[in-house]
Every structure is written in C-alpha cells, then in structure tokens.
A and B are shown apart, each in its own frame.
Chain A
Amino acid sequence: MARYRSHIMVCGGTGCVSAESEAIIENLKAELKSHGYDNEIKVVKTGCFGFCGQGPIVKVHPENVFYVKVKPEDAKEIIEEHIIKGRRVERLLYEEPMLKEKLDESSKMNFYKKQYRIALRNCGLINPEDVNEYIAFRGYEALGQVLTEMTPEEVLKVMKDSGLRGRGGGGFPTGLKWEFTAKQPGNEKYIMCNADEGDPGAFMDRSILEGDPHTILEAMAIGGYATGANHGIIYIRAEYPLAIKRLDIAIEQARELGLLGDDIFGTGFKFDIELKYGAGAFVCGEETALIHSVEGARGEPTKKPPFPSVEGYRGKPTSVNNVETFANVPPIILKGSEWFSSIGTEKSKGTKVFALAGKVNNVGLVEVPMGTTLREIIYDIGGGIMDGKDFKAVQTGGPSGGVITVADLDTPIDYESLKAIGSMMGSGGMIVMDEDDCMVNIAKFYLEFTQDESCGKCTPCRIGTKRMYEILARITEGEGKPEDIDNLKQLGEMIKNTALCGLGQTAPNPVLSTLHYFRNEYEAHIKDKRCLTGSCKALSKYSIDPDKCIGCTACARVCPVDCISGKVKEVHVIDAEKCIACGACYDACKFDAVIKP
C-alpha cells in the first residue's frame, strides 16, 4: 500500500462542484501521474470548507496551505510548484480584505479564527464517501459507547444537561423532545431528520449532509436508542442531489459495517434509516407538515397538540430533529454535557452555524459560539462590508425573521436576544445589507416568497400574506397610499396571532421589523414617491447637476432609451418621464455630475 506524504484536499460541496472542482481533481490526479508522484500524494474530495465565497478551495496537508478560487488549469502550477518544489503558489493564496495581506494557512484567517466548529467539525477534513475517515476522527464511537455503556435514560439525561436546543429555528430542547417520545407507550416509534432546509439563503444542513453524512446516521441511531425507535427517516428535498448521493453511500457503508441494521455493536439493538424525498415546499420544514408529506399526504400542517412525540408518523410517537441538531449529538456524548454547556450563553448552549451572505467580503458558512455578537460575525469573520460601504442592516432568520440595525450590532446572539430585537434565529440565514439596499424591497422579497409558499390551509396565511405582498408591491411601484402603513401593521399582527403554523405566524416579521426600524423609508416611498436607495426602479429618477456637467456627452451616448439631451460642451438634461433608471449614465459620468436618486 502506498503511503502518502501529502494530502491535497479539494472541496466537493455543491458550491465548489458547480465551480468545476471535479475538473480540478481530475487535473491534479493527471498531473501527479505524469510527474510520477501519484504514489506519494493523495487527492481527496472533501465536504464544504464553508468559505464558499472564495471557492473552489484546495487545501494541502500537512503544510495546511489554503488555496482559493482555484481553476482547473491551476492544477499544473500547484503540482509543479507546491508539490514538487515546495514553493507556495502566491497568486492563489487568500488575501485578507481589511489588511490587504496574503495568508497561506486557514488558521491565520479572521474568517476561521473566531469560529468554533462542532457541527461542521469534519466538513473539509474528511472524505465524506469513506466511512473509515469518519471513524478515524472518532466516528461511531459515541454510538458504541451509548449502546454498550449507557442506558437510554442516561443518554436522555446527558442530552438534557447539555442544553442543546433545536437548530431548525424553534429552539426546543432536544433532550426534552426525545424524552417525550421515549415516555410514550408502545414499541413502534420513529426518529426523523428534517433535512428540508427551505429558508432561502441557508445551506448549513446541505453542507453537513454533503461533508459529513455519517454523523447524521450516527446521531439518529443514538436518538433511536434513547427514544426507543428502531426506524429512522431522513426527509430531504430532492433538489439536494449531491447530499442524497452521499447519504446513500453512507447508509450502505454503515450497513456493511453493521453500524446500521440488526444487532448493532453486538448489543441486539436494531436500527435502520431510509430516505424520503421532499418536493421542496417551505411549509414541509414544519414538523407536522413534514410528517404528512412522508406519509404521502399533502404537505399541510395540523394543529399541535397532539405533538408528533405523542402522535406522529403513522400515528406513532415520532421525534423530528434538524440536521444541524443531530450533528451536535455525537460530540456531546463523547465530550460530555458539561463541555457542551460550558459553551454559549445562559439559555442557549453550544454553537450555531450561520450562512453569511449579502454585502460582506467573506461569504460562507460560519459556526460560532452562541453569544457571539453580530459585529464580530460581520466585521471580524465576514471581513466587513464590500467596497467599504456603510452597514445598514442584517436580516436574520430568513422569511421568518427580521432586520437588525446598527444599534443592535453588539447584542450577543442567542435564541432569546434575537427575539427581543424583533428577529429570530431561524435556521441561521444571515444576509448583510448596505446603504444601497431598500428595506421596502427586502420586505417585499420575503413576502413574495411566503405568499407563494403558503400551503393555503388556513385563511390568515393564505389570504393575509397575499394582501400584504400586494400592498408592498404597490408601494414599490410608487402607488402607495397613506393608510398602507397602518394596514400592513394591522394585517401583520392579525396573521401572527391567528395563523395555524410557524410559517404564517412568522411570515409578517420581515415587514413588521422593517416598518419598526425603517419607517422613514416606507414614508418616503408613499408620500414623496421616492426610493432613498434607488433600488425601486419605478421611484428612482436620475438627474444631472448643471454646475458639474461639462457637456462631454458620455451619458447621452450610453443611455439605452435616449432620454438625455444636450449639445457638446453644454449642460445635459435627463427626461424623467422616459428614464428607466438603469444607472448607466451614473457609471459613465467622470465628473460626478449625474445625481443618483
């Protein structure tokens, strides 16, 4: 057997694969072979490194050199320079945005320094399609310990003491959920993994499934043992083909090693897992709707109680837990509840993965201890706002959350604190917005999503979100009425109080929260027919500053609708009626004479 002195890790997450990381792997292997190094250097396809904005990522061990934005044609240089001659390929190193400094190791980067990876611990470290690599990093040891050394009650106690709460958004204590299921009579019980991940912008669950599928299988088996379930179901959306493929491989490998099936670890414990594909409806992330969908019925929620832990799949006790929640379970068993509860805040223990996106320099998945402030996430890990612009707000919790302004940047984030400032944890989407983003437009975007995803079962959500969306659309078109603000508020409160499930109950949040913090923007849209940021095309009119215009004609030449008139060396004028607010003249003017709305 060949012994390798170096491992070249290439990201095989969905983001990097779509940026041709598989071609990089092919080229690296071909180069190694042509230079006769294929017995010394191993190329490994891993899960997501989390630094998706810089992908595709290639990391070389043992030096730990971290290359970013690698293209297939760079393979030759990496092999010939780094592997053969030991010289870093400088141009492929990451540059710290604030310091303008090239860094070679990920551990030196601010993006990774403040992270604490529990759920993502193996992502980017192991080959997700090789169970032995998972085992090498203590995989399946927690399951072995639980089955051979602990009673189900002891497992439940560890989980309760750890303080782990559901990472899908609700934040319900996981140990308690398992205990409720365990206490139900009967021997037909189920444990389900919610891998529906419908929040636009969030992709941590996908990343875990793609990068470390065995951890989910192991955690579900532990959950099965603790709750008395012998059957696990992973509900995953069909639009995650790579995650499905890796799960299929993982399940097969686990069965071969007897880590799933009958008589696991020789203890007589029986547990197996099957996959169910969802069609990608947002409402199916709600656990009762999810269960109905698995049963083959319409994906619609039902009222709780009865909770699924009492009456769930096929009317039997069922515990539904989120992917990221499960990913925390094996480390808790191995390191103990005290270790886990020492991380985080008083009521929110452990870490949370956020999908950091929008106008920040470092886009990607970040896992931080609960209680980290938004400022640390956006400015330290995220590397600040793109192009040196001003921070305006950050949207957390996706379509269920709200905006957080500069005033709350230093709030330590946990489930309670986010709720207190009008947003929520949700599944961990985090979209950063700068001075150019219009808050009415953002609210409209989320309402467009929720009114589309509303299952239609209850009236407040079905009709209410639609009406809210119509009002918002009108405001951004310049046809807002003075009473719109009050109507939005009234509708929003009503939907929150009367909708059947979490989707409807939280759908008005993006509107209510932007109304609370940015009422002036709504008023400008409605009263002055102006969009302060120029995002709402119908309300943004460009004009030319006569003092600055020198009559160079640059703007008139780029205008696609010929709405700028004026002779050479004379002041030009924009016809506001014809202007489509494309901004081309603004970009073309070298004298700052075009005034942006």
Chain B
Amino acid sequence: MAIKSLDELKKIRDNSLKKVNLRESGENGEEIIEMMVGMATCGIAAGARETLNAILDEIEAKGIKNIRVVQVGCMGYCHSEPTVQVNMPGHEPILYGNVSAKVAKDIIEKHILNGELLDENILIKTFNKA
C-alpha cells in the first residue's frame, strides 16, 4: 500500500511506535516512572508473570507513555510475592506485596495515575536498599 500523504505516514508511525517505544523510554532517564516486578523463583511461583502481563496490558489500555516495567530478582519478601516496587520520580519508592493481576491494575489506576497509595498492599514505604 502506497503512502500518499504525511498523515498516512504518521498513522504507520503511531502503529509502529507502539511496538518499539519500550526501547526509547530507557534512553532519556529523568521523568520515567519505573515499576519493578520481582521475578525470582518465589515470585514466578506466586504468579508474577500474570501480574507483569496485567501491568503491561493496563499500561497499554491507559496509554501511559513515561513508564518502564522492569523485572528484577528476589527482593527478600518471599512471603508476600508477587512483589512490585513503584518508583515515581521525586517520591520515595513504595513496595507492594501480594500483587495479583487485579491489584496490579489498581496500582496503575490509583497510584500511578492519581497518586493514591494502596495502603492494604504496602509492604514497606521508602523502600531503599543499602
């Protein structure tokens, strides 16, 4: 199919961008929200892979751009897996436990988009490692 105008080109770009934008979000550092999903043996066994996929689905559904989802190793809270850590620029990191796919959606909707914390699932506030 031939492209006949700049608008048609932009349509193709927007479609293609969805497939590659995870490569860009890493590059410019600063104002990127980071969600870290614990994907060690304990996390995977407790369903972290479903959690991770739910997060990615929700991000796409809501069209959130300045975010990257990273999988990490065991954070030491094996009793409360799956765990998800949220790093908002300028805020202390928050660590959530028992994050099912549903909780994951709530985190995106409430915490990421509206800045409300999900008190019931918080394992620890200001989660800093030495």
Contact = CB atoms under 8 A, between A and B. Distances in A.
B68 to A, nearest CB: 4
Nearest to B68: A62
A5 B69 contact: yes
A84 B100 CA distance: 18
Contacts of B19: 4, 132-133, 136
Which residue, of B15, B69, B71, has the highest number of chain A Cβ atoms within 10 A?
Answer: B71
B4 interface: yes
A93 B47 CA distance: 29
Given A85-B39, A135-B9, A136-B17, A259 B22 contact: no
Interface residues of A, number: 40
Interface string A49-79: 0000000000001111000000000000000
Nearest to A139: B13
Given A85-B73, A86-B39, A258-B2, A62 B23 contact: yes
B3 A64 contact: no
Contacts of B26: 61-64, 105
A63 to B, nearest CB: 5
Contacts of B69: 5, 62
A86 B130 CA distance: 19
Contacts of A140: 3, 9
A64 B22 CA distance: 10
A62 B67 CA distance: 10
Contact of A259 (B3, B16, B17, B23): B3
Which residue, of A63, A87, A140, has the highest number of chain B Cβ atoms within 10 A?
Answer: A63
Interface in A132-151: 132-133, 135-141, 144-145, 148
A7 interface: yes
A133 B20 contact: yes
B37 to A, nearest CB: 8
Nearest to A63: B70
Which residue, of B16, B21, B40, B56, has the highest number of chain A Cβ atoms within 10 A?
Answer: B16
B13 A257 contact: no
Contacts of A133: 16, 19-20
A84 to B, nearest CB: 7
Interface string B52-89: 11001100100000001111110000000000000000
Contacts of B29: 107
A5 B52 contact: yes
Contact of A136 (B20, B39, B68): B20
A126 B37 CA distance: 26
A187 interface: no
A138 B20 CA distance: 12
B56 A135 contact: no
A4 B22 CA distance: 9
B17 A62 contact: no
A141 B40 contact: no
Nearest to A37: B49
Interface in A216-268: 256-259, 261, 263, 265-266
A148 B12 contact: no
Contacts of B12: 132, 135
Contacts of A257: 1-3
A132 B17 CA distance: 9
Contacts of B21: 136
Contacts of A84: 39, 44
A40 B53 contact: yes
Contacts of A137: 20
Interface string A117-130: 00000000110000
A135 B13 contact: yes
Contacts of B20: 7, 126, 133, 136-137
A6 interface: yes
A148 B10 CA distance: 14
A303 interface: no
A85 B40 CA distance: 5
Nearest to A140: B9
Given A5-B52, A62-B25, A265 B60 contact: no
A61 B71 CA distance: 11
A148 B23 contact: no
A83 B73 CA distance: 10
A7 B60 CA distance: 16
B98 to A, nearest CB: 18
A357 B54 CA distance: 47
Contacts of A259: 3
Contacts of A265: 3-6, 9
B119 interface: no
17 contacts: A3-B56, A3-B57, A5-B22, A5-B56, A7-B23, A63-B70, A64-B26, A64-B27, A84-B39, A85-B39, A86-B72, A125-B23, A135-B13, A137-B20, A141-B10, A259-B3, A265-B4
Given A3-B57, A62-B23, A265-B5, 13 more contacts: A4-B22, A62-B25, A62-B69, A85-B71, A132-B12, A132-B16, A136-B13, A136-B16, A140-B3, A141-B9, A141-B13, A148-B5, A266-B5
Interface of A: 3-7, 9, 40, 61-64, 83-87, 105, 107, 125-126, 132-133, 135-141, 144-145, 148, 256-259, 261, 263, 265-266
